[in-house]
A and B are shown apart, each in its own frame.
Chain A
Amino acid sequence: MRQAARIGQDMEAMKPLTCEQAANQFFAYLDRALSGEPLQALEAHLETCLNCCDKLRFQRQLDDFIKARLPEARLPADLDAKIRRVLRG
């Protein structure tokens, strides 16, 4: 009985994702925060859904686009010395 319930739960967990459910996982997927069954379920969906593949590709492009436009941050040569000075009061 318990085993049957567990199999039922497993089947429920592996139920194919809808496009909406898949899209809700895209950001976690891009941030490499998905693993185990949620990852398998998303990859299974992507194998059969060209629309979601296309949408995911755009989300990745958009992430890369924004990352490439983050302000440049070149460490000022004297900042280390300034901080040490301030820390010494």
Chain B
Amino acid sequence: MGKGSGHTAPPIEPEALSRFEELTLPHLKSLYGLAVRLTGDGAAAEDLVQETYLKALQAFPTLRNPERSRSWLFQILSRLVADKQRTGNREILTGDLTELDRFSLYHAIADEDPFPYSDHLHEDFLAHFQDEEVRRALLALPEEYRVPLVLVYAEGLSYRELATTLGCPMGTVMSRLHRGRKILERELWECAKRRGLVRTWKP
């Protein structure tokens, strides 16, 4: 493992450690899946998961409800992602939020009509993207939008579970999911422009 191995485990009684492993290791697969989808990289995901387990072990005495251990682990991992993103700069800019909220990929495609002879205009538009372009757009989302979207897409979390995991009200969850999707729609449109699928000028 990489930089995550610099951290050491806090001292803990063997019984407590066994209890911790029993509660948390069954979620390793979900946690690793989330880490891969948030980082886009297997090695970085392993480091992130390792760091998550060490943080969780430190915080284990504060876990009041063992039933919640999965969302508690998701919460710790999400915070670590947020901390790391603060030092990075790869994210796309959200820009004018009012304009963003108004953007609709559906309408942009319909107005532009890039495939005039198509009977399935919107489907044909999506079919032109490579998987990697979609992944890049998702990974470039600011963390506050990427984490809830990935949790919904990959783990199927409800809005209530998301609110608990992210430690924010349901209204914030809804607005982040809305904006995250809108940013992705706009990124796909910008990507289509760069690829010459649609015009880059307006008459």
Contacts and interface: CB of A to CB of B under 8 A. Distances in A.
B54 A79 contact: no
18 contacts: A31-B159, A61-B126, A62-B181, A66-B138, A69-B131, A70-B135, A71-B40, A72-B36, A73-B32, A73-B35, A73-B45, A75-B29, A83-B50, A86-B5, A86-B50, A86-B54, A87-B20, A88-B9
A61 to B, nearest CB: 7
Contact of B122 (A58, A72, A88): A58
Given A70-B154, A86-B7, A86-B54, 11 more contacts: A59-B106, A62-B181, A69-B138, A71-B37, A72-B36, A73-B35, A79-B49, A80-B25, A83-B25, A87-B21, A89-B11
A33 B159 contact: yes
A82 B50 contact: yes
A71 B153 CA distance: 12
Nearest to A87: B9
Nearest to A84: B21
Tell me if A's interface is mostly helix, strand, loop or mixed. Answer: helix
Given A27-B177, A79-B46, A33 B150 contact: no
Interface residues of B, number: 48
Contacts of A86: 1, 5, 7, 9, 50, 53-54
B178 interface: yes
Nearest to B29: A75
A79 to B, nearest CB: 6
Contacts of B122: 58, 61
B47 to A, nearest CB: 11
Interface of A: 23, 27-28, 31-33, 55, 58-59, 61-63, 65-67, 69-73, 75-76, 79-80, 82-84, 86-89
A9 to B, nearest CB: 22
Contact of B153 (A61, A66, A82): A66
A73 B57 contact: no
Contact of B1 (A33, A63, A73, A82): A82
A83 B29 CA distance: 12
B100 interface: no
Contact of B181 (A23, A27, A71, A79): A27
A10 to B, nearest CB: 24
- The list of the 5 closest CB pairs from A to B, nearest first, reads A73-B33, A73-B36, A69-B134, A89-B9, A33-B159
A27 B104 CA distance: 13
Contacts of A23: 104
Given A65-B134, A73-B33, A58 B20 contact: no
A71 B32 contact: no
Contacts of B178: 27
